[in-house]
């Protein structure tokens, strides 16, 4: 269903939990971190960490994504013009989320730190300075590979087309190829910028006309 903070504030803490659980799993492993040495652990390291009393470098490890930070991110990104969707089980458990919002080229450069974006995007698409930034998508591990993200992405896409957004942008990890890198590439998203960092993060773009996540 569409997730609107005006009407669904009672679901906010579940969406926060879902986000934190999704990114605590492989391949992100963003569950706990040591603020001294920067090491991070996924939920699969629970036994190792509990065996060490959740201590590293002489300090207690911290949540990688604190509840407060995720709450702030959602409140910042899920605004009136944001296309935000959640997946729920018949028992009301939130098991997936996806949101995206319109952004200007200047704001996109500031957000992603890639000054080459205006040139590459303007060369490829008639974007009218309103780009659809595909910010977040995630599905709990136990519910993956059943088409839930596909349906969330499709609803999001249709709503953004209704808002007359013409080009979508997404940031993904290329090496090793993330599920989303392969998924978006297969649907015609093209490389528009690369970070050249250790995680090999890249930015992909595609016109929204003619795009569908539900069929090849
Ligand atoms: C990416 C993610 C949202 C996909 O959710 P999902 O509900 O399992 O996805 P779907 O079942 O709708 O499948 C979507 C596509 O991904 C593919 N896919 C999903 N999981 C995959 C896996 N583990 N390995 C390879 N391909 C996979 C599917 O085959 C499908 O591709 P196709 O339509 O071309 O056949 C989910 O894996 C996830 O939450 N990952 C962690 C969070 C994350 O990486 N978010 C994106 C950050 S940019
Ligand atoms: Zn440490």
Has residue 129 been placed in a domain?
A: yes
High-pLDDT (> 70) share of the chain, %: 100
Over residues 150-170, the mean pLDDT reads 98
The mean pLDDT of 26-34, rounded to a whole number, is 96
Q: Is residue 172 part of a domain?
A: yes
What is the CA(34)–ligand 2 centre distance, in A? 5
| pLDDT score at 35 | 97
Statement: the pTM of the whole predicted model exceeds 0.85: yes
E strand segments, the chain: 32-33, 40-41, 55-56, 59-60, 62-63, 83-88, 94-103, 131-139, 167-173, 190-194, 201-207
Nearest CA to ligand 1 atom 2: 138
Does residue 197 surpass a pLDDT of 80?
yes
Q: Which residues contact 100 (CB under 8 A, 6 or more apart)?
A: 82, 83, 84, 132, 133, 134, 135, 156, 160, 168
* Terminal Cα-to-Cα distance of the chain (whole angstroms): 24
For ligand 1, what atom is nearest to the CA of residue 170? 48
Ligand 1 centre to CA of 128 (Å) is 30
User: Looking at the domain assignment, is residue 65 inside a domain?
Assistant: no
Whether 64 and 72 have beta carbons less than 8 Å apart is answered as no
Tokens 């205006």 appear where? 118
Contacts of 11 (CB under 8 A, 6+ apart): 3, 86, 94
Residue 37 lies in a domain: no
Query: 215: pLDDT confidence band, cut at 50, 70 and 90?
Result: confident
Determine the structural domain holding residue 100 and report its residue range.
Answer: 80-207
36: in domain: no
Name the 3-class secondary structure at 75: helix
pLDDT at 216 over 80: no
Which ligand is nearest to the Cα of residue 57, counting in written order?
Answer: 2
Q: Point out the ligand nearest to the CA of residue 138.
A: 1
Domains identified in the chain, total number: 1
The pocket of ion ligand 2, defined by CB under 5 A, consists of 34, 36-37, 56-57
103-141 tens-digit pLDDT: 999 999 999 999 999 999 999 999 999 999 999 999 999
Mutate to test the pocket of ligand 1, among 42, 157, 179 (most ligand atoms within 8 A of CB): 179
Average pLDDT over all residues of the chain:
97
Alpha carbons 196 and 6: distance in angstroms, whole number: 40
Is residue 34 very low, low, confident or very high in pLDDT (cuts 50, 70, 90)? Answer: very high
CATH number at residue 113: 3.40.630.30
H or E element in which residue 127 lies: none
Within a domain: residue 128? yes
Question: Is position 174 within any domain?
Answer: yes
Mean pLDDT of 38-51: 97
Mean pLDDT over residues 10-16, rounded? 97
Instruction: Give the model confidence (pLDDT) of 64-110 as tens digits.
Output: 999 999 999 999 999 999 999 999 999 999 999 999 999 999 999 99
**Ligand 1 site residues, Cβ closer than 6 angstroms:** 22, 137-139, 144-150, 172, 178-180, 183, 186
126 in any annotated domain: yes
- Average confidence (pLDDT) over 22-48: 97
């Amino acid at each position: 269903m569409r997730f609107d903070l005006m009407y669904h504030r009672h679901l906010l803490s579940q969406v926060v939990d879902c986000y934190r659980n999704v990114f605590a799993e492989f391949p992100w492993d963003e569950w706990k971190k040591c603020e001294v040495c920067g090491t991070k652990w996924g939920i699969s390291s629970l036994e190792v960490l509990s065996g060490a009393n959740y201590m590293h470098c002489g300090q207690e490890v911290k949540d990688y994504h604190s509840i407060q930070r995720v709450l702030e991110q959602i409140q910042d990104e899920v605004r009136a013009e944001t296309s935000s969707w959640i997946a729920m089980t018949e028992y009301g458990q939130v098991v997936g989320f996806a949101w995206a919002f319109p952004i200007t080229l200047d704001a996109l450069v500031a957000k992603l730190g890639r000054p080459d974006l205006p040139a590459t995007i303007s060369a490829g698409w008639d974007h009218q300075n309103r780009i659809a930034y595909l910010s977040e998508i995630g599905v709990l591990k136990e519910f993956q590979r059943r088409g839930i993200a596909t349906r969330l992405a499709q609803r999001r896409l249709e709503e953004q087309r209704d808002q007359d957004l013409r080009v979508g942008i997404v940031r993904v990890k290329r090496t090793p190829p993330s599920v989303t890198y392969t998924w978006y590439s297969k649907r015609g998203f093209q490389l528009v910028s690369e970070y050249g960092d250790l995680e090999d993060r890249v930015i992909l773009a595609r016109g929204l006309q003619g795009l569908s996540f539900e069929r090849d």
